[in-house]
A and B are shown apart, each in its own frame.
Chain A
């Protein structure tokens, strides 16, 4: 039985431990504190644009995050519904505490997982400068042998938190940070980068005047994250979030005190993310914007703490209070926890394979923010993939298969110089990678990897079969003008003069499958109807992307012989030679995405490989 050690119990660590354990490996998960398993140290929500896709994909592969949020959400919304089916984004507010409890219980009840509180300070290879992992050493000096290690240290490595001139040497939420491992990783040949992220203040519910804010209620019709749940099963009473905006005064206050922000005073040198800027960044960088939205979100049902989304900051405490109080509805707000920025060490993920294993040390895996990403969902997705790979499962998820494929390929091929956030715009074939069809894309892969149980797979096959049959039926069934008339009139749609195939009719923007349900002999459940509708309605667009994806897969299929000596290909520019030698891409597609490799370099490489094979 494979013995695997997971370092860290955040979202990456949880998925990694569960995946490896479920594939039969013996897992020990070390966390600095067992009270921080699945901690959400920043925003109290899961999903959102592109991140929601990731959660659906994690679930489709047999991961846990979707089920965890379905069990513990207190508000659920589908965003972007007017912008096209591919970018519908599911987002749910979590009850943070219950989410953590849920996930910890799942881990505890997994027979192959042992949870251990403690810090790992060293990763052991078979000898000095070795190329294979043999174990780990704990803070107390004990060496534990293992076959593989998955490093999921999040933002804890050499972490320090800053606001104003205050610096605490802690991880997020005042947790203990991890000090030993950074040095060890450097010795093992991983140059470290220093990244920065941040979180806003938490304020007391009673101090907020909600009457000055816009209410944002949850959706009436809830879509579950997990394909194993139905809307009915997870229905519950939801709580509201609220929307307000920064004011001119907010911006003036920030400008006046900008020199006191840890980010602008020079205290912080680490790189922050452009995708999720602090309030002072927003105001300094987008000086012409008159206001920025601020969302007030509950942290859970069992607490009065409210999260102030959109106002993360590293300003000193006194300025923070003034700044928050300049926002309508927050005039009297009581800050319970101040906003802060956090700095931490992470590696350069270009040292990893597509399975997130170090190229130069077998058995050493990395997942989550240690790889340069940001976000719970990004971390969980990597945890799942690293877990599968560490357990020896063969699974390939490419850029045309899922957001997870895009995420990992981006990280290990391009690397990142700032915390990486998943976005729909990073996916080239996003019309194919919809959140609604994540199971159709990935559940067969999850099943092949061994993470999808037989029963679930059988249900999946039934569903995909029904979709196929339903689509075939729609292409055959015609409706007569008489039969369609009342529906068309009701929907303000142009009348038809002769019989028209249903598959043509529902392509009209104002019509959908549901309108013609009575013409179809079978009675499909909602998820099947939705698939039939989307696949028919948008098939013109889908086919364009299918063709593009096909061309893409062809290039991905062109392998680069592993023995190539790039230094000897004189036609390549020096930068390209260096990058290709360092990254050693597996195929032409991956080579084409390496920063510093131009199309001309690629042509040279193609010609070179062709002459090799002649």
Chain B
């Protein structure tokens, strides 16, 4: 058995892992999958029921560890299509890891990341887009990302794409009918009917397509750079945002010479924040390198938090930095990133000192105190407004969001083909040719769902699931 290619392909040994979220919770779940799942549990669970019935909860104890509920899912009615057991014990890492150790001591192997999904996919339990969703879930950086992934796993995205696909198929069916039964002219559907439905379909697909940015943001995070003159409080700001002191903070100018990157979740939006060296005229070689890195970070950022000192207002140096950033962006022909001006140390500002001008091209400023955290709520609200505006809020679960570039490319192609078909119908292009465009759209949507058999599917499987290793 072990030497057959099958066993190398899809490991059929029994795997286990903690299936509940990390951190404290009232209940923790251990999932076990594989032919030995039930046998392993029988070794340490008592009182042992006479028979383990599938999809029934059993109450009992795992000796010396915890009192638990277990549920047996007999193959193929389980997440992986293999025999599965889930153990529900008390939450907390200590208990969970003890239970997991017991499972492993009794013959299971610790699952690799994504291995349950791999088995579910290879056993035909879930389709490709669902498998992708699980992989997203595993690497999700925020709740919104995991909700979007969950939604996709549940088939929300699949359903929406299937609906669009069905619609196109029904148009095709009408065209085919008129072609295959030329003597039944009266059966043919008016092109106007298709044109009438086409607009709605296109706008639906387009909406889905537009979520890709949101999708990417909640999946990968917003690349954010904190920029400013030395000692205006950039690191303090980062620390306050991070709620911990991991960047070096010092009163002397120029202490942050390297670029620090931190990931943080702000109102459910993941930010990948780069704290940078303060920008100033310098001859010091090391500092020059730091400054160059800072400008690079600014170039790569989607969001720049420009920190200025409220106690002295916008200075000539600040203006200089603005223009450098603007110039460098212009050279690279990219649209300017979102920039938020933060007037820090607002709490220390004495009456009458000049403030940033509100009519400034850089947009409105926000007064904050990085030290006390004052004004940060306004900053977060602004970020949310900038990146998650419109219909898609942080309630990703309510919406279908596409998170993958692969999906966007295919959606774009589908939209293009449907638009082409609509144009052709308007111009009176023969319907057989219109069907070429519609078919192309149909195929593209099918590829998102993994329904079209592409040559690249094997590569994708190998790259995502480490099969056969």
Contacts and interface: CB of A to CB of B under 8 A. Distances in A.
Contacts of A509: 427-429
A86 B176 CA distance: 12
Contact of A541 (B8, B10, B436, B468): B436
A588 B453 CA distance: 9
Interface in A548-597: 548, 551, 554-555, 558, 568-573, 576, 588-589, 592
27 contacts: A48-B182, A49-B179, A49-B180, A49-B182, A80-B179, A82-B430, A83-B182, A83-B432, A84-B430, A87-B179, A87-B432, A293-B184, A295-B183, A428-B439, A509-B427, A541-B433, A570-B10, A571-B9, A571-B10, A573-B124, A600-B121, A600-B450, A604-B122, A607-B461, A607-B467, A608-B6, A612-B5
Contacts of A601: 124
Contacts of B126: 600
A323 B218 CA distance: 69
Given A554-B455, A570-B10, A607-B462, 13 more contacts: A48-B182, A84-B432, A89-B182, A293-B184, A295-B183, A424-B180, A571-B9, A599-B128, A600-B121, A603-B121, A603-B457, A606-B457, A606-B458
Given A571-B123, A614-B468, A555 B453 contact: yes
Interface string A49-85: 1100000000000000000000000000001101111
Contact of B127 (A49, A541, A599, A612): A599
Contacts of B127: 599-600
A83 B9 contact: no
B428 A80 contact: no
A599 B179 contact: no
B454 interface: yes
A230 interface: no
Contacts, number: 131
Given A80-B182, A603-B121, A607-B468, A86 B453 contact: no
Given A83-B179, A425-B176, A603 B461 contact: yes
A592 B454 CA distance: 11
A551 B124 contact: no
Contact of A603 (B128, B172, B179, B436): B128
B432 A607 contact: no
Contacts of B182: 48-49, 79-80, 83, 89
A85 B180 CA distance: 14
A425 B468 contact: no
Interface residues of B, number: 47
Contact of A555 (B8, B430, B455): B455
Contacts of A89: 182
B436 A431 contact: yes
Contact of A610 (B4, B179, B440, B458): B458
A516 interface: no
Interface residues of A, number: 54
A599 B437 CA distance: 23
A430 B431 CA distance: 13
Nearest to A216: B183
Contacts of A541: 433, 436-437
**10 tightest A-B contacts by CB?**
A84-B432, A84-B430, A425-B176, A600-B124, A79-B182, A423-B180, A571-B122, A606-B458, A87-B179, A87-B432
B272 interface: no
Nearest to A555: B453
B329 interface: no
Nearest to A576: B124
Interface in B69-128: 121-124, 126-128
A607 B5 CA distance: 11
A606 B432 contact: no
A336 interface: no
B458 A607 contact: yes
A551 B456 CA distance: 10
A492 interface: no
B255 interface: no
B152 to A, nearest CB: 16
B183 to A, nearest CB: 6
Nearest to A48: B182
Contacts of A573: 124
Nearest to B436: A541
A84 B126 CA distance: 40
Interface string A145-186: 000000000000000000000000000000000000000000
A425 B453 contact: no
B467 to A, nearest CB: 6
A602 interface: yes
Contacts of B440: 544, 548
B432 A430 contact: yes
Interface in B1-55: 4-6, 8-10, 12
A447 interface: no
A551 B454 CA distance: 8
Interface in B416-469: 427-433, 436-437, 439-440, 443, 450-455, 457-458, 461-462, 467-468
Interface in B138-188: 172, 176, 178-184
Contacts of A295: 183
Nearest to B424: A541
Contacts of B437: 541, 544
Nearest to B125: A600
A425 B180 contact: yes
B453 A592 contact: yes
Contacts of B455: 551, 554-555, 558
A570 B12 contact: yes
A592 B443 CA distance: 15
Contact of B8 (A79, A84, A293, A611): A611
